[in-house]
Amino acid sequence: MEALHRPMEMGRMGTRIAKYDSDKITKIREKIEVVFGKASTWNDVVISERYNITPDGDLIMIIR
C-alpha cells in the first residue's frame, strides 16, 4: 500500500510541511461519501491519518 504523504518541504521559518497526494485524498473523500452517505468535512491531514484506499478502490479505516 502506498503512503499518502509525499516528501516534506521546508515551510516558513524552517518548519517542515508534509505534502499529501491530492488525487488519493479525493478518491478517499468520494468513497467516504458512498460508504457513509455524506461528505467528510475533515481536512486532508485527518483524512490521511484515518483512512486509506486500496488499488481496487476499497476504503480502509485506520483505528488506533
What pLDDT score was predicted for residue 3? 54
pLDDT of residue 63: 84
Tens-digit pLDDT profile for residues 1-54: 555 555 455 445 555 555 678 899 999 999 999 999 999 999 998 998 899 999
What's the rounded Cα separation, in Å, for the pair 31 and 1?
17
pLDDT band at 62 (very low <50, low <70, confident <90, very high): confident
One-letter amino acid at 16 equals R
- Can you tell me the distance from the alpha carbon of 29 to that of 47, in angstroms, rounded to the nearest whole number? 8
The residue among 11, 21, 12 whose CA lies nearest residue 45 is 21
Pairing of strands 5-10, 51-53: unpaired
Record the cell numbers describing residue 2, joined without a space: 502506498
pTM to 2 decimal places: 0.67
56 and 34 in contact (C-beta within 8 Å)? no
